[in-house]
Structure 1
Amino acid sequence: MSDSKKCLFEAARQLGLEMSEEQAHALLMYIEQMQRWNKTYNLTALKNKEQMLVQHIFDSLSVVLPLRKKLSGRKTVNVLDVGSGGGLPGVVLAIMNSTWNICCIDAVEKKTAFVRQMSGVLKLPNLSAKHIRIEQRTEPQVDLVISRAFASLADFASLAGKHVDASGYLVAMKGHYIQDEVNELVSRTEWEEASHETLEVPELDANRCLIWLQRKG
């Protein structure tokens, strides 16, 4: 077993996730493909495989269990990953949750082209990507809209909130919890904080949190 795969299984164990050999293989292949495309398309500022493993894969894996807990009991789950870039956390969510339908949205065409390529290479029929700005989207509402360092909470809610159905969730992956952002959210939008939780990302020496938003009232 490679060192990278050992680290991946250990991270999954620390996060309380069961991971199959197929899922581990897909996650590592995803990083390899990202490195390959990165030479031409600059998908991410990270160049080192170990850095990508921790800062991209482990970081995205850290939200899997919290999302599953919120969405448990639903036969199908439709998720939008807004400002997905090269597919984070969307590709990771698709690998780890085969019954979820994940659509990655980004305004940069080369990034959504990469995600579409990953859907084929990694054999993920539940993964799709659209080159579109979130405010231009016209498809039906979904169960969950997530973003990873996409924008301020207020901007995120203003742009993406209308795509969440009445029983769905709007959730932001953030570094630090910033009260001023929460205050701005409340003053500028119809959304407010429902809760937030600290995320412990294996091998990452940085703050991470997940902020759940709800419509006021």
Structure 2
Amino acid sequence: MIGYQDQLLRWNKVYNLTALRDPDKVLIQHVFDSLSVIGPLGDKFATGRTISVLDVGSGGGLPGAVLAIMRTDWQVCCVDAVEKKTAFIRQAAGVLKLPNLVSEHIRIERKPPAQADLVISRAFASLVDFSDWSGMHVGSHGHLVAMKGRLASEEVSQLEEKGAWSVAQVQKLNVPELDAERCLVWLQQVGKYDK
């Protein structure tokens, strides 16, 4: 994990992968934040089988690279529309010897359906946009999950008005050293039985 953070900070000097420059802030606000979902996600998936993960709008690999480091049994694909960010993830995967981490330079709405077990985003878009653009990539027994700060009621209302997806569960996340709200928002297709 330290190797990933070092790579992120090194590349950030040239490619502006994150607005944060201070190593301690990167550790807390990016790495610890991404680590906070490991437990809740692990609870949903049986161990011993390969899980396909699509990290939408991954940027510098958050949370995708962190998931790949912590869960070597998961196959993680980080998708971003900015080529320099996907190039960084490819480089980091090579340097850190993470064969389970790949990146793809494409807009998520143009990507052919992925049939992923988990489609996740962190600080990517509103719930409506995230579900509109990414919902088609969720496999038949998969999950669509958004990492959020404070969940705005307006965002939930807009999602409900749209009518295709709804909020199934909101899990509070505990991020060490971070004095801010974080949550994991589990979405489900309206009319589809939640597996």
TM-score interval (norm. to shorter): over 0.9
Change (3 A) 1:189 1:111: farther
Task: Give yes or no for the alignment of 1:157 onto 2:98.
Answer: no
Task: Give yes or no for the alignment of 1:40 onto 2:2.
Answer: no
Letter in 2 for 1:120: G
Give TM-score, length-normalised by structure 1: 0.86
Task: Give yes or no for the alignment of 1:194 onto 2:168.
Answer: yes
Question: Which digits, 9 at most, give the CA deviation of each residue in 1:5-55, with x for residues without a partner?
Answer: xxxxxxxxxxxxxxxxxxxxxx11111111111111111000011110000
After the TM superposition, which segments of 4 or more aligned residues of structure 1 sit over 2 Å from their partners? none
Aligned to 2:59: 85
Contact 1:143 1:165 in 2 (8 A): yes
How far 1:179 sits from its partner (Å)? 1.5
Contact 2:60 2:89 in 1 (8 A): yes
Q: Pairwise mapping of residues 38-187 of structure 1 onto structure 2 (< 5 A)?
A: 38-73=12-47, 75-187=49-161
How far 1:139 sits from its partner (Å)? 4.7
Task: Give yes or no for the alignment of 1:213 onto 2:167.
Answer: no
Aligned to 1:10: none
Alpha-carbon distance in structure 2 between the residues aligned to 1:74 and 1:165: 19
Give TM-score, length-normalised by structure 2: 0.95
Contact 1:192 1:215 in 2 (8 A): yes
Alpha-carbon distance in structure 2 between the residues aligned to 1:37 and 1:73: 33
Superposed CA RMSD: 1.0
Amino-acid identity (%): 59
Letter in 1 for 2:18: T
Alpha-carbon distance in structure 2 between the residues aligned to 1:147 and 1:188: 20
Contact 2:48 2:73 in 1 (8 A): no
How far 1:74 sits from its partner (Å)? 6.4
Letter in 2 for 1:79: V
Aligned to 1:12: none
Letter in 1 for 2:104: K
Contact 1:81 1:104 in 2 (8 A): yes
Q: How many residues align?
A: 191
Alpha-carbon distance in structure 1 between the residues aligned to 2:179 and 2:134: 30
Letter in 2 for 1:125: P
Give the gaps of 5 or more residues in structure 2. none
Change (3 A) 1:164 1:74: farther
How far 1:73 sits from its partner (Å)? 5.0
How far 1:140 sits from its partner (Å)? 3.3
Letter in 1 for 2:165: W
